[in-house]
Structure 1
Amino acid sequence: MGTVTRGTTNPNRLRRMDRWIAHALGRELRCAAEPVAVDLGYGAAPWTAVELLGRLRSAAPRVRVVGVEIEPGRVAAARPYERDGLVFRHGGFEVPVAGRPVLVRAANVLRQYDEDEVAGVWERLCARLAPADPASGGRGGLLVEGTCDEIGRRHVWVALGPEGPRTVTFAARLGSLERPSDLAERLPKALIHRNVPGEAVHAFLRDFDQAWAASAPYASYGARQRWIRAVRHLAADWPVTDGPGRWRQGEVTVRWEALAPRGRAFPG
């Protein structure tokens, strides 16, 4: 179920997203009886699935990755790369794996879809996630859906639990960034057409640019210190959910509700 993507992929393209997932979801993966992660729409080559396995196993050694592609030829080409903990399957948004995965990652998949289709895809994928476990305090699985540039310097992604959207994360190689609003071109489909006056994501990027400008004196200490200072300014007015440890990685994560498009319903 779904549409064949262009399949563009490059080694190491999703490293920023992978590192964030390993940090944010490591506990859920370690505690799960069946720690399965799905790389949905991995593209014309299997690099992102291979790399996801290695990065997640640094946080959860028992994790297994299933690469899922809707184009049969891509699945056949990936099969020689199967190994312990890594398999490839033909399929799409139905997520053809047994049970409920702890992670579904869909990177650069929905860019070719219409904005009106996003909510339905999110709802279908969230319904496939491992449920929350109140007894252990687990929040359930995670859908990570977003977009990055061709070599992974700039990312924006939404993280969704079984209940719906939770957060939006902006991540960049800071040395290549002129201003935070440069990330606007990598907004996921749910947000990219909403970067206009009157929408929350537009106001957020405007305020981020202002905080970046106000933090210019810190540029003499490097782009990282300037970013950290700008995010501190930003956090006074926006619900930033992470802290300096993640900011140092060139990230900032904000609650979804603060950036959600006006007049559009999403799962949750």
Structure 2
Amino acid sequence: MKLFVDVGNTAMKWRYCDGATVHQGGCRHEREWSRVVDVMLAGAGRSPEEIWIASVAGPEADTVIASCLASRAGCQPRFYYSCESDFGVQSCYPEPRKLGVDRWVAMIEGFQRYGASIIIDCGSALTIDAVDGRGVFLGGYIVPGLGMLRGALLRDTSDVHIEPGTAQLQLGQSTGECVHNGLLRMSVAFVTEVVVELRQVLDDTSKVLVTGGDAPELIGSFAFEFEHAPDLVLDGLERVAARQQ
């Protein structure tokens, strides 16, 4: 059995592969690595023989996660990090290792599936990355995600109180609606403008792949064609790990 783990800024997702059987899970980690590792391993049934990790949590966190997994699962995990080129994708970063590995493996998976592609990751941060038909990573954008934007608004405006709600692309009729709808419109407008711009650089049939935990909140308002790929990072990690067999 193999275990693939995507460690993000706020959440951890994982996938167990045992032959044709696949089991997935995930939760917010709050950087409580020991607790989250216990939760992850509890659903496995037995210890994995192989563990692969794509992490943006930082070196110190990676060390703790590796130690927790090694002691509990009896298997030393292997970390995959961004590099100059892999699977036909060429990084444009002067220091490739500094590119978030979640973005990197998502681009690898997108390029391997469709060639030229635009990857939109709606996570803690909202990122957009573009890969051309030759596999060249052209660059990207990083802005705050919906949760981060709401948090900043709540932190810096003492009189704004936001109740949970469903956002729509229309004028709000309460403070909460104004906030939810305004942040949605701002995020959708930004994404749409970038996609339109990139389709003038790339082929206009280039695939747009949308992933990340906030994707369900955004995709209903997208007016362009896209594919919702919630497991794109895990798919990419599994692809790069398979080469090592």
State the structure with more CA Rg: 2
Note whether the superposition's TM-score is higher than 0.5: no
Structure ranking higher in strand proportion = 2
- TM-score of the superposition, structure 1-length normalised? 0.31
